[in-house]
């Protein structure tokens, strides 16, 4: 039986510890934090606060970069990405809620490179599940769990974030 609910705040605290260890090990100082809209931005805000970083966070809206755009169509309220800083030669902590096929992260990296060439991209994911279709791996993961094909993950928030596993 799979676990179906999680303590998101404790998981974010553990992820911040993992991120600090990763940054120290790789001699990375002053990284930028960028969240993938929408839930990735909520998580990025919490991680940014726990890491005590000086710069504001960035927000990526990857809708125009998705490879399933023709199948899902255009959402009527697409807002642009907000990167209020240069990413050129900077270390980026890219944050999202779920890593499944890898296609969302690929789209996010495509968009990031339209803004410049970062020194590195560190992927921080709240929930990682099996099913990769692309060779994408997270450097920091809060929860790793295999799910059945008929299951999905949802994060509600931004206040009192709750992560739940449900059935389709």
> Which structural domains are found in the chain, ordered by start?
5-167 (3.40.50.2020)
Q: Cβ distance 95 to 36 under 8 Å?
A: yes
The pLDDT tens digits of the residues spanning 119-157 come to 999 999 999 999 999 999 999 999 999 998 888 898 988
CA distance 75 to 59: 17
Average pLDDT, integer, range 71-90: 77
Q: Please give the mean pLDDT across all residues of the chain.
A: 90
Q: What is the pTM (predicted TM-score) of this model? A: 0.91
pLDDT tens-digit readout, 2-32 = 666 789 999 999 999 999 999 999 999 999 9
């Amino acid at each position: 039986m799979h676990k179906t609910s999680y303590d998101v705040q404790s998981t974010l605290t553990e992820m911040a510890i993992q991120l600090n260890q990763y940054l120290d090990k790789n001699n990375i100082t002053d990284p930028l934090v960028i969240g993938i809209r929408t839930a990735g931005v909520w998580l990025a805000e919490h991680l940014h606060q726990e890491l005590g970083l000086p710069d504001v966070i960035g927000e990526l809206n990857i809708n125009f970069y998705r490879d399933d755009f023709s199948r899902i169509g255009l959402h009527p309220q697409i807002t642009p990405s907000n990167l209020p800083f240069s990413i050129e030669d900077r270390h980026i902590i890219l944050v999202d809620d779920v890593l499944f096929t890898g296609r969302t992260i690929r789209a996010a990296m495509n968009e990031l490179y339209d803004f410049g060439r970062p020194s590195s991209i560190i992927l921080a994911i709240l929930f990682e599940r099996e099913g990769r279709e692309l060779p994408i791996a997270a450097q920091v993961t809060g929860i790793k769990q295999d799910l059945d094909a008929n299951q999905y993950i949802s994060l509600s928030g931004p206040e009192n974030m709750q992560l739940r596993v449900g059935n389709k």
